[in-house]
Copies of this chain bind each other. A is one copy, B any other.
Amino acid sequence: MQSDLTVAADDAARLVPTLSAVAKRAGVSPITASRVVRTPERVAPATRIRVEQAMRDLGYVPNLVAGALASARTNSVGVLVPTIANSVFADTVQGLSDKLEPLGFSVILAQSGYDPAREERMLAALLSRRPEAIIMVGSPATEGGRRLLRRARIPVVETWELPEHPIDAVAGFNNCEAGVTVAKHLIAQGRQRLAFIGGDDPRATRRWSGFRDEIRAHGLPEPRRLILPHDATSGVMAHASLPGVDAVFAASDAHAIGFMAGLRTAGLLRSGPAHEQPVAVIGLGDLEMGRLISPSLSTIGVHGREIGGTAATLTLERDGERCVDIGFELLLRESG
């Protein structure tokens, strides 16, 4: 009796009410209150209504961390991106989150900042929250990261790439092939002195290698590669470092738009069609902005949101094809 009173006092004094407090108020056992939240159809309507009223009275908000511990289901998904400020990744996060949120999953977001050590730390941090799946852009940069993911024994979706030996599932496209496609197009257009600008992350590097190899295969002069920080403004000055170049493949639309700003200043940009451009420019990402500027930006379109949506599906359905090539498309507009 004493202890009962104590518990009652505790419950009343609590800032946030528990399931037991709700149950007590409704005159049922805690497990019945739990069922009202999780499987209402298994509770008699009269009881249900009484419990629901008690919940409203107390302003009950379920404690999912307790629920997760008890049920071994956290209903959360860990998402690791290089940076959320890059809108192509933001699109991917939106795509997956739009699919997962309605199902009651929460997104735990982490950023690696393109830094392998930080990536591994963030993977460990994510896994310590026991997400039911991990979705990441790219593949783990470190062996430690791979090991963590394998040992976690949960679905892992690598995106934006098509790794040869995926940890589990993949939703991406062939970055190397994208580089090849751009090179082929520029060469067919009669461009001779090609260059590549962009970051030095694994995906950009794959695009570069496809691009370079295709150019070599055509016997054209070795292309230059200019490594830039991950912001558009860095592209503005790139032109000065690439004298004589008549076509550029930028690893991202942001870099492409920055580069075009530099060309404009140098008087090397026309508002006409691609063949009139002194320097052709192809981006990657199909940013909305690229369509709106003049000259409009030719680009490799990559369906960031669909990558996210597909990744979400892959975390939910454990059978079926585990490696989805979302593909890409060459979108030709005025810049190249």
- Give the residues in chain B near A69, CB-CB below 8 Å: 65-66, 69
Smallest beta-carbon distance A134→chain B, Å: 12
A106 touches B83 (CB 8 A): no
Q: Kindly supply a per-residue 1/0 record for chain A positions 144-183, scoring 1 wherever the CB is within 8 Å of any chain B CB and 0 otherwise.
A: 0001100111000000000000000000000000000000
Most buried by B among A124, A258, A264, A292: A292
Q: Kindly supply a per-residue 1/0 record for chain A positions 11-50, scoring 1 wherever the CB is within 8 Å of any chain B CB and 0 otherwise.
A: 0000110000000000000000000000000000000000
Given the contacts A61-B128, A65-B68, A294 and B264 also touching, CB distance less than 8 Å: yes
Closest chain B residue to A62 by CB distance? B128
- Other-chain residue from B61, B101, B233 in contact with A111 (beta carbon distance below 8 A): B101
Closest chain B residue to A287 by CB distance? B289
B107 touches A109 (CB 8 A): yes
Closest chain B residue to A111 by CB distance? B97
Is A64 at the interface (CB under 8 A from chain B)?
yes
- Give the residues in chain B near A101, CB-CB below 8 Å: 110-111, 122, 125
Smallest beta-carbon distance A263→chain B, Å: 11
Smallest beta-carbon distance A52→chain B, Å: 14
A124 to B63, CA, bound (A): 11
A97 to B64, CA, bound (A): 22
Given the contacts A153-B15, A233-B291, A233-B292, A106 and B129 also touching, CB distance less than 8 Å: yes
A128 touches B64 (CB 8 A): yes
- Other-chain residue from B129, B130, B293 in contact with A293 (beta carbon distance below 8 A): B293
A129 touches B292 (CB 8 A): no
B74 touches A84 (CB 8 A): no
- Give the residues in chain B near A104, CB-CB below 8 Å: 125
Smallest beta-carbon distance A284→chain B, Å: 16
Is A331 at the interface (CB under 8 A from chain B)?
no
- Interface positions of A from 194 to 236, Cβ below 8 Å from B: 231-233, 236
B108 touches A106 (CB 8 A): yes
Is A94 at the interface (CB under 8 A from chain B)?
yes
Closest chain B residue to A58 by CB distance? B151
Q: Kindly supply a per-residue 1/0 record for chain A positions 242-270, scoring 1 wherever the CB is within 8 Å of any chain B CB and 0 otherwise.
A: 00000000000010011011001000000
A67 to B25, CA, bound (A): 29
Is A324 at the interface (CB under 8 A from chain B)?
no
A152 touches B109 (CB 8 A): no
Contact segment of A85-93, A184-192, A272-280? A85-93
- Other-chain residue from B63, B90, B126 in contact with A128 (beta carbon distance below 8 A): B63
A152 to B110, CA, bound (A): 25
Q: What are 5 A-B pairs at a CB distance below 8 A?
A: A63-B128, A65-B65, A84-B93, A107-B109, A108-B109
